[in-house]
Amino acid sequence: MQDIEENKKRTTKLEGCDFSTRGRWVYDESYPLYTRRSCPFIYEGFDCQGSGRLDKNFTKWRWQPQDCEIPRFDATKMLELMRGKRLLYVGDSINRNQFESMVCMLMGDIRDPNRPRISHAKGTYSFYFVDYKFTVEFSPSVFLVEKGTKRVGQKQVQTSLRIDTIDQGSSRWRGADILVFDTEHWWTDFKTNSGKNFYQEGGKIHPFLDVHTALRKGLMTWAAWVDKSINPRKTQVFFRTSSPTHFSGGEWKSSRSCIGATEPLPKPSGMANKKDVVLEEVVKQMKTRVTLLNITSLSEYRIDAHPSAIKDCSHWCLPGLPDAWNELLYLHFLSDS
């Protein structure tokens, strides 16, 4: 009787429920939602079983919020909701992780006679679901702002980051019906020359700028572009919060603490991510409505979900954790329908 009463209290409505931070991971034999056999488009770096990982438990965990329900992802319903639309993920390789997850989730079970038909040109980040006239794409842009480069021999080498100029690839972002952004993965001292002679505004390169100040300036450039270029009556804008890594101390060069992990952590650190705080402050100042897809806390548990066989403690296995991120995205679409 108590279980029935508890279920009655749960809701799938977004208002008044914390879907992202209050909850736990539940082992569920009905997962995963797809396999590497049903989805042959998984990048080898995300294909953990193909890379030699022998255990499969990491594919079986489902996020269960404490006071509400996340409906199981229904590929057919999602495709109907997206009929005639264009869903575009913009950002770094973690957003590629989520993009590939969505493509695989939509393809469903290989045994399904109603499996959707897709059109995909090899080497592109674009999948067209023919019967629904629906496109899912990924646009690489690790910083969202423009990189300064120079040619060294046959290669273009990055020399600076123009934090006051939007990425030239932004011309592709216009016209999408749904935009899902991320960027924080590369805003680290390791990736930005420790802020020394790297960040540029106008014709000036700062001798030094700390990463959080630079991130704020870069996000304000992105926010100004969104407010100027996006029609909120046509386009929904999401921004995914930071994806946690499981290196000791959180540093890229530190030891890889995810190696050999086969179960989620008992609890996350509970510490606020400074970059997410910057993101929230910038979004609050925008004219355009931007929905934060808060995945940081629930993902911090999942030390077991990385491609640890190739010693990668920052990206995620597919099938795996990014599927839960897309289930949260799916919940937003259901609530809006």
> Does 134 score more than 70 pLDDT?
yes
CB 208 within 8 A of CB 192: no
Share of the chain above pLDDT 90, in %: 77
CB-CB neighbours of 198 under 10 Å: 23
What is the model's pLDDT at position 35? Answer: 94
- Closest CA relative to residue 203, chosen from 169, 158, 166, 160: 160
What is the model's pLDDT at position 5? Answer: 41
- Closest CA relative to residue 53, chosen from 237, 221, 333, 261: 261
What is the model's pLDDT at position 9? Answer: 44
- The encoded tokens of residue 33 equal 């939602």
What is the model's pLDDT at position 14? Answer: 67
Domains identified in the chain, total number:
1
Q: Residue 198 in 3-state DSSP?
A: coil
Q: What is the distance of C-alpha 315 from the center of its chain?
A: 10
Give Cα separations from 68 to 14, 16, 109, 178, 298 (angstroms): 9, 10, 27, 25, 15
Among 5-9, 15-19, 316-320, 333-337, name the most confident range: 316-320
312 is catalytic: yes
How far is 217 from 178, CA to CA, in rounded Å? 24
Among 239-253, 262-276, 291-305, name the most confident range: 291-305
CB-CB neighbours of 1 under 10 Å: 5
167, 312, 314, 323: the catalytic one is 312
What is the model's pLDDT at position 256? Answer: 61
Give the DSSP letter of residue 256.
B
Residue-wise pLDDT tens digits, 212-221: 999 999 999 9
What is the model's pLDDT at position 153? Answer: 77
| Residue recorded with tokens 């972002």 | 173
What is the model's pLDDT at position 251? Answer: 52
Share of the chain above pLDDT 70, in %: 93
Angle at 17 between CA 13 and CA 18, to 5 degrees: 130
> Does 47 score more than 60 pLDDT?
yes
CB crowding 244-264: b at 16 or more within 10 Å, else e: bbbbeebeeeeebbbeebeeb
How far is 223 from 230, CA to CA, in rounded Å? 10
93, 160, 170, 308: the catalytic one is 93
Average pLDDT, the chain: 91
The better pLDDT of the pair 38, 149 is held by 38
pLDDT grade for 7, boundaries at 50, 70 and 90: very low
160, 170, 315, 323: the catalytic one is 315
The better pLDDT of the pair 46, 254 is held by 46
Q: What pTM does this model have?
A: 0.93
- The encoded tokens of residue 282 equal 């910038």
What is the model's pLDDT at position 11? Answer: 54
The better pLDDT of the pair 28, 5 is held by 28
Give the DSSP letter of residue 57.
G
What is the model's pLDDT at position 1? Answer: 39
* Least trusted range by pLDDT, from 3-17, 50-64, 65-79, 257-271: 3-17
206 is catalytic: no
Structural domain boundaries enclosing 293: 2-336
Decide the pairing of beta strands 155-166 and 199-201.
parallel
30 is catalytic: no
What is the model's pLDDT at position 297? Answer: 94
Q: What is the distance of C-alpha 55 from the center of its chain?
A: 24
Give Cα separations from 275 to 30, 144, 183 (angstroms): 35, 15, 10
Residue-wise pLDDT tens digits, 85-107: 999 999 999 999 999 999 999 99
What is the model's pLDDT at position 13? Answer: 62
* Least trusted range by pLDDT, from 15-29, 110-124, 243-257, 322-336: 243-257
